[in-house]
């Protein structure tokens, strides 16, 4: 299955600032997915990123708050903009797994907003 390198692994940020999270995949993938996992909670899909087109956002998530870039088939970024403490969470990218429809996840970015 694909190997995903996600960074940063964690960060502590001031409210009102922005953080960009990067995911690099070791193979070309059509879709990349961004999830949020709040403490002790399940995984909530933020958006789906297809190379060459705008990301598709789920209900409750907007592009101004979570802009996504997908410049090529192996890389994507998620920016968390104008952060507030409510944005404190783990953010994970994922891609489809090879040979199965199961997703492979990056190691996650633990974000704390103070």
Partner 1 sequence: GENVEQHPSTLSVQEGDSAVIKCTYSDSASNYFPWYKQELGKRPQLIIDIRSNVGEKKDQRIAVTLNKTAKHFSLHITETQPEDSAVYFCAASTGETSYDKVIFGPGTSLSVIP
Closer residue to partner 1 in complex, CB, 17/41: 41
Locate 114 and state its tokens: 């103070």
Q: Which of 34, 27, 62, 61 is closest to 50 using CA atoms?
A: 34
Q: Work out how close the CB of 104 gets to partner 1 at its nearest, in angstroms, rounded to a whole number.
A: 8
Among 5, 28, 38, 41, interactor with partner 1 by CB under 8 A? 41
Closer residue to partner 1 in complex, CB, 60/85: 60
Please list, in sequence order, all residues whose beta carbon lies within 8 angstroms of the beta carbon of residue 41, skipping any fewer than 6 positions away. Answer: none
Task: Please give the Cα distance from 103 to 20 (Å, whole number).
Answer: 22
Binding site for partner 1 (CB under 8 A): 30-31, 33, 41-45, 48, 58-59, 92, 96-97, 100-108
């Amino acid at each position: 299955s694909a190997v995903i390198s996600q960074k940063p692994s964690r960060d502590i940020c001031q409210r009102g600032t922005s953080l960009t999270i990067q995911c690099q995949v070791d193979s070309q993938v059509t879709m990349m997915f961004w999830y949020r996992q709040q403490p002790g909670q399940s995984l909530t899909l933020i958006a789906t990123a297809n190379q060459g087109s705008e990301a598709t956002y789920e209900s409750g998530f907007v592009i101004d708050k979570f802009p996504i870039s997908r410049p090529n088939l192996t890389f994507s970024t998620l920016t968390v903009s104008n952060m507030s403490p409510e944005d404190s969470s783990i953010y994970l990218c994922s891609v489809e797994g090879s040979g199965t429809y199961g997703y492979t996840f990056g190691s996650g970015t633990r974000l704390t907003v103070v």
